[in-house]
Amino acid sequence: MVRRSSGFVSKQPHSKSRGGCLTCKRKKVKCDEARPKCRYCNQRKFDCEYVHKSSSKTPESLSSHEASPQPPSNEVDFCISSSQSLIPPSNTSIGIFTSLDHYLMQYYETYVWQRFVMWDDPVVKSLHKDVVPKMGISHTFLLYSLLSIAATQSNIQTPSKQVEKQALVYRQKTFESYKTALQRITPENYEAVLATGTFLLSLVLPLASYTDDEYLDWIFSLLKLSEGLRVLASLRWDHGIEKLSVYPLVRRESRILPPPPIINPVTHVPTDPLGATPMTPNPPSTYTSSHLADQNGLFLPPLLTSLFESTMSLQNESGSHVATLLSAFQALSPIFLSLYYYHLTEDFSIRISVFPSFLTPDFLHLVRQREPRALVLIAWWFALADLVPQGWWVGETVRRVVAAIGREVERGDDEMAKTAVRGAERIVQVFESEGNEEAAKSVFEGWRGMRWEAGPMDLAAWETARLMHLESRFHDITV
């Protein structure tokens, strides 16, 4: 099959489209405004959303707790009556809402919450749209985080100095109040603390003007915040966390993974306890002992397999960080397995979002020190993350991060790392030119014995064999 060019999509100068879809506005490309999907989104299989303009008050004309009113600016692409808001005008955790607060919560309830729903799950949708905002009524840190996120997204859509300032004010208040809450975690506030932890990552978005050094520093900050969420979840991971209402926000898989379809003795790793490994990542109580079988082989594309083998060969060399890097290879492996068996579905999206929760403090230190192989593994994660249809990180951020890592690795003398990072860059290039499904398929090109189309068939065969095994065991018990 002849493939189209995998180069980046060139962006021609154009006049601004005021009625374009949200995706084209975020990516700063001209939208042809076709309905239901514009051409840009249709070719790349993006979600294509339009927001109808209204004659509502603009952010600049709304009062706030901290920001002074400014002259009116552009119209807001937002239409909802204040009576529909989940938050009443009084009795919130931060006191009486101002008109700007109302606008921001309405904006969150109408649009922003959807950016956090990476898969089509009614429970997750309800949590983000209804449960979490209502929870914020009683918890200051959670409400401030929602307001800051909404202000940030509103300012991206319709720039406003007042809203931009208020986003920073609310972000500062989020971290201040959250720090206080962490010192007094109780059964009453634990779920709100956990939910807020899932939002913090979106409060540290990088600027488009960042240099490579600033992007690399931002990566470490992002991973460090993820480490905090892992610690919070661990407080109840073995003690009924799956019974909490917010558990769907922190679960680490939606479907059990079959073992790797091919066995590579070189990538054999020890089996860890249930609930403590990327292959069985959910709480131990959600598994049985049968899930331990055949879960100890890594499943990595050729470039990463070569990097893994090279890394393992350095075990006897000082300063090689083999054990630390091994944990990150293990964390990446289930993502590729999920992509092979389940393709671009809910399980893949979940595993992408929770990948940082498996990274050790020692690995984060390597990232901070810009150890080339650690950076390569992070570049692959970012490249794969861009395949998720929805998420606060998708878009230009991924391309800039992968490019920054690529340039950093190329400046060094680790030839294996240089070769491996080009695989991540290749995924980004295919995604930009052909969309997420073609980029996903490209992961398996040149991977001996692996075909994108074979994954679901191998999955069906495994499920059938597993069912027959269970029926046989049941028969033996009952006879």
Written as six digits, the tokens of 243 are 């019974």
Contact 389, 344 (CB under 8 A): yes
What is residue 79's predicted lDDT score, i.e. its pLDDT? 32
Q: What percent of the chain has pLDDT over 90?
A: 54
pLDDT tens column, 300-329: 999 999 999 999 998 877 777 999 999 999
Contact 94, 140 (CB under 8 A): yes
pLDDT of 295 higher than 70: no
**How many Å separate Cα 41 from the centre of its chain?**
20
Residue whose token pair is 């154009």: 14
Contact 107, 154 (CB under 8 A): yes
Q: Is 268 exposed, middle or buried (0-12, 13-18, 19+ CB in 10 A)?
A: exposed
Cβ count within 10 A of residue 323: 11
Residue whose token pair is 């690529």: 406
pLDDT tens column, 365-420: 999 999 999 999 999 999 999 998 777 666 788 899 999 999 999 999 999 999 99
What is the pLDDT confidence band of residue 474, given thresholds at 50, 70 and 90? low
| Stretch 116-126: mean pLDDT | 87
pLDDT of 77 higher than 60: no
Q: How many CA atoms lie within 13 A of 79 on its CB side?
A: 7
Peptide bond into 36 cis (omega under 30): yes
Question: Of 89-103, 218-232, 401-415, which range is least confident?
Answer: 89-103
Residue whose token pair is 């409060």: 203
Whole-Å CA distances, 439 to 5, 302, 404, 431 = 12, 16, 20, 5
What is residue 218's predicted lDDT score, i.e. its pLDDT? 94
What is residue 3's predicted lDDT score, i.e. its pLDDT? 36
Residue extent(s) of CATH 4.10.240.10 domains in the chain: 17-50
What average pLDDT is seen over the chain? Answer: 82
> What size, in residues, is the chain?
479
Catalogue the long-range contacts made by 269-275 (C-beta closer than 8 Å, 24 or more residues apart).
269/296, 269/297, 269/298, 269/326, 269/330, 270/296, 271/295, 271/296, 275/237, 275/238
Angle at 386 between CA 384 and CA 388, to 5 degrees: 90
| Stretch 413-439: mean pLDDT | 96
Of 171, 261, 209, the residue nearest 404 (C-alpha): 209
Architecture of domain 17-50: Irregular (4.10)
Torsion of CA 470, 471, 477, 479, to 10 degrees: -170
CB proximity list for 183: less than 8 A, separation 6 or greater: none
Is the CA virtual torsion 314, 317, 321, 326 positive or negative? positive
Written as six digits, the tokens of 239 are 């003690």
What is the pLDDT confidence band of residue 192, given thresholds at 50, 70 and 90? very high
Q: How far apart are CA 39 and CA 52, in angstroms?
A: 19
Q: How far apart are CA 367 and CA 376, in angstroms?
A: 10
What is the pLDDT confidence band of residue 13, given thresholds at 50, 70 and 90? very low
Q: How far apart are CA 295 and CA 279, in angstroms?
A: 7
Q: Which of 33-37, 338-342, 445-449 has the highest mean pLDDT?
A: 338-342
Q: Is 391 left (phi over 0), alpha (psi -120 to 50) or beta?
A: left
Q: How far apart are CA 406 and CA 408, in angstroms?
A: 5
Q: What is the DSSP letter of 264?
A: -
Q: How far apart are CA 369 and CA 429, in angstroms?
A: 27
Q: How far apart are CA 389 and CA 338, in angstroms?
A: 15
What is residue 289's predicted lDDT score, i.e. its pLDDT? 57
What is residue 89's predicted lDDT score, i.e. its pLDDT? 46
Written as six digits, the tokens of 129 are 């749209």
Cβ count within 10 A of residue 440: 20
Q: How far apart are CA 181 and CA 425, in angstroms?
A: 40
Q: How far apart are CA 216 and CA 229, in angstroms?
A: 21
What is residue 271's predicted lDDT score, i.e. its pLDDT? 59
Written as six digits, the tokens of 138 are 């009683």
pLDDT of 348 higher than 90: yes
Of 118, 236, 258, the residue nearest 185 (C-alpha): 236
What is the pLDDT confidence band of residue 93, given thresholds at 50, 70 and 90? confident
Identify the bridge partners of residue 336 per DSSP, sorted by sequence position.
Answer: none
What is residue 2's predicted lDDT score, i.e. its pLDDT? 36
Angle at 104 between CA 101 and CA 110, to 5 degrees: 140
pTM for the model stands at 0.78
Contact 347, 335 (CB under 8 A): no
